[in-house]
Every structure is written in C-alpha cells, then in structure tokens.
C-alpha cells in the first residue's frame, strides 16, 4: 500500500490539525507491530515531510512527529506470493473469456509476467511497446493517488526496458480494439486504478481456490521475483528488471525469497553430491569405474 492509503485506512477523514503527538505515536506503534524496519522508517519519513510542509503553509503550528519512538517487527514479515502452479492457475483464470473491455485482467497478467509496479503499468502507451523486439519501455509512472497525472518513475534506475514474451505481446495487442493512445485505457477513456484491479484480483484468486490474506496487486511483483528465482534467473538480471539501482536493494527487499531459494538450492546440491559420492554400496560400485576411466 502507498503511504497515503495507509493514512486513509487509519485516520479516515480526520483533519491534520486535530492530530497530536500521542495519537501519532499510537499510530506508529500499531503500524510497527506488523511491518519491517525499512517500511516503518520510510512511512514515518514521508509523513514527517508532509507535516513540515503543513507547518510552513500555516495549516498547523506544531510538529506532532517530533521525538516519536519508532518500533517495528523483528519477525521477518513476509509478503505472501504465489507458487508457479498458482501463477499458472491465476493466469488461466484471467485469460478465460477475456475481452478488451476487461482491462483490469490485462493489467494483472502484465504485472505477473513483468514485475512492473501498478503506476508503471497504468502509464504505458503504445509507443512503449516494441512488438518486433518484444520489449516494454518503462520511463514514467501514473500517479493515481494525487491527481491522475503522468510523472517521472519512482527512481532514475526505474527507467528501463524489459523483455517480454510473445504471448504477452499478443495479449496486449488485443487492447488496440479500445482505440486509445494508452494501452490500458478503456473504451470510455479511463484507466482502472488500485481499487478496480484489486477487486478483480481478489475475485480470480477466489475462483482458483487460492487463499492469501492481504494479497494485493503489488504482491504480484513479489510473485514475479519468486517465479524468476525458481527458474534459476540470476539476481543481477532480476534487479535490473525490477528497476533497482543495485543488487543490494533487491537482495535486501527480497531477502526472505532468496533465503527460501537458497535452502532449496542447498537441498539440490546435497542431492547431487549424494548421487556422485554414493549413499550406499550400489552407488559406489557404479561411480568408481567411471572415475577410474577418467584418470
């Protein structure tokens, strides 16, 4: 979720002028119980910047974020992702009976197969799709929270070009039928936002019998990473595809996925070594002559 959505979920329509330091501390305490250190610090930093602007503009007189103690979960909160089989199930469900008017479905499939952020997907126009080279150029983001405007991407490193498969190319070309300049604009000229795509995602997860609490559109980005790791794609390639400035960011953000992948890899390594060294006498009889012949 974006910080603005987190604020809205907790504070509702409360005015900033009514918030005091104790109330803000309560908010950060509750938020920190279920979020990692990096997320808590980032959320607090964004809110503090907004509060300082409000003081400069004369909206409020005091900074209620000052000297607030931050807490966070040390339990290694994990974002739930889909297995390879579940991803296939979900994609099949989304493609079943799909038509160009069902734009949200196309957006979800695009997220699964590219790992793109929602704002990046919403901002795509037809010039960003290279049919011949099967690539998507990502150089902007759609701000659906603050005024529906096209802006620069999240970071400089978010400017990138990624490779896609022919199946996704063919699927996206179906949206040409809507006769719009932007890929994911509907016939009436609107682009499905967070609420619409998450509603569609929830519906199809349920139809597939996949239960995932708090699984939302951005979780598809984590599922994309899990899919690539499962298929042996190296971390450097994944980092570039996601638009991270370096592999350290990717390794830190998806540490739990990498640890799980490493554990599976270690099991595979142990199995290979067992096959070579032999677990029992039968294996030793087979392996020894082979090694002897290679000397």
Confidence at residue 256, expressed as pLDDT on a 0 to 100 scale:
67
Contact 276, 287 (CB under 8 A): yes
Residue 294's H or E segment, with its range, is: helix 281-294
Contact 24, 66 (CB under 8 A): no
Confidence at residue 145, expressed as pLDDT on a 0 to 100 scale:
64
Confidence at residue 289, expressed as pLDDT on a 0 to 100 scale:
42
pLDDT of 79 above 70: no
Confidence at residue 200, expressed as pLDDT on a 0 to 100 scale:
97
Confidence at residue 213, expressed as pLDDT on a 0 to 100 scale:
78
Confidence at residue 117, expressed as pLDDT on a 0 to 100 scale:
92
Query: For residue 163, what is the DSSP state?
Result: E
pLDDT tens string 201-248 = 999 999 999 988 778 999 999 899 989 988 888 889 999 999 988 888
Query: For residue 129, what is the DSSP state?
Result: E
| 3 Cβ contact partners less than 8 Å away, ≥ 6 residues apart | 42, 43, 46, 47
Q: What is the CA radius of gyration of the chain?
A: 24
Confidence at residue 147, expressed as pLDDT on a 0 to 100 scale:
63
- 124-152: average pLDDT: 89
How far is Cα 240 from Cα 219, in angstroms, rounded to an integer?
A: 18
> In the chain, what percentage of residues exceed pLDDT 90?
54
Contact 112, 90 (CB under 8 A): yes
Q: What count of other Cβ atoms lies within 10 Å of the Cβ of residue 207?
A: 13
Query: For residue 188, what is the DSSP state?
Result: T
Confidence at residue 75, expressed as pLDDT on a 0 to 100 scale:
59
Domain with CATH 1.10.443.10 in the chain: 84-230
The end-to-end CA distance of the chain, in Å, is 60
Highest mean pLDDT among 11-25, 57-71, 119-133: 119-133
pLDDT of 105 above 50: yes
Higher local confidence (pLDDT), 245 or 280: 245
In the chain, where does DSSP find H-type helix? Answer: 3-11, 21-32, 37-56, 84-95, 103-114, 118-122, 166-173, 194-207, 219-230, 235-242, 247-253, 255-277, 281-294
**Residue 215 structure tokens:** 């699984």
Q: What count of other Cβ atoms lies within 10 Å of the Cβ of residue 70?
A: 14
Residue 217's H or E segment, with its range, is: none
Higher local confidence (pLDDT), 142 or 75: 142
- 44-73: average pLDDT: 91
Query: For residue 192, what is the DSSP state?
Result: -
| 264 Cβ contact partners less than 8 Å away, ≥ 6 residues apart | none
pLDDT tens string 226-235 = 899 888 888 8
In 14-124, where does DSSP find H-type helix? Answer: 21-32, 37-56, 84-95, 103-114, 118-122
- 10-39: average pLDDT: 88
pLDDT of 295 above 90: no
pLDDT of 286 above 50: no
**Residue 191 structure tokens:** 């682009």
Contact 175, 103 (CB under 8 A): yes
**84-230 has which fold?**
hpI Integrase; Chain A (1.10.443)
Confidence at residue 264, expressed as pLDDT on a 0 to 100 scale:
65
């Amino acid at each position: 979720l974006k910080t603005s959505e987190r604020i809205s979920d907790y504070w509702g329509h409360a005015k900033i002028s009514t918030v005091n330091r104790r109330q803000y501390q309560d908010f950060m305490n509750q938020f920190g119980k279920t979020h990692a250190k990096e997320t808590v610090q980032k959320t607090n930093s964004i809110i503090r910047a907004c509060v300082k602007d409000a003081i400069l503009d004369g909206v409020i007189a005091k900074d209620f974020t000052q000297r607030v103690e931050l807490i966070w979960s040390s339990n290694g909160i994990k974002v739930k992702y889909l297995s390879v089989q579940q991803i296939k199930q979900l994609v099949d469900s989304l493609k079943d009976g799909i038509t160009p008017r069902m734009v949200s479905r196309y957006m979800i499939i695009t997220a699964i197969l590219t790992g793109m952020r929602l704002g990046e997907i919403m901002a795509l126009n037809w010039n960003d799709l290279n049919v011949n080279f099967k690539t998507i150029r990502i150089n902007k983001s759609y701000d659906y929270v603050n005024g529906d405007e096209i802006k620069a991407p999240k970071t400089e490193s978010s400017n990138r070009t990624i490779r896609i498969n022919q199946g996704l190319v063919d699927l996206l070309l179906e949206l040409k039928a809507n006769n719009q300049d932007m890929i994911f604009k509907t016939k009436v000229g609107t682009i499905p936002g967070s609420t619409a795509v998450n509603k569609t995602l929830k519906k199809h997860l349920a139809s597939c019998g996949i239960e995932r609490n708090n699984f939302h559109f951005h979780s598809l980005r984590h599922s994309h990473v899990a899919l690539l790791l499962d298929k042996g794609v190296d971390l450097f390639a994944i980092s570039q595809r996601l638009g991270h400035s370096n592999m350290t960011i990717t390794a830190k953000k998806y540490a739990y996925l990498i640890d799980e992948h490493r554990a599976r890899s270690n099991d595979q390594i142990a199995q290979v070594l067992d096959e070579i060294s032999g677990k029992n006498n039968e294996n030793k009889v087979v392996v020894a002559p082979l090694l002897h012949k290679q000397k």
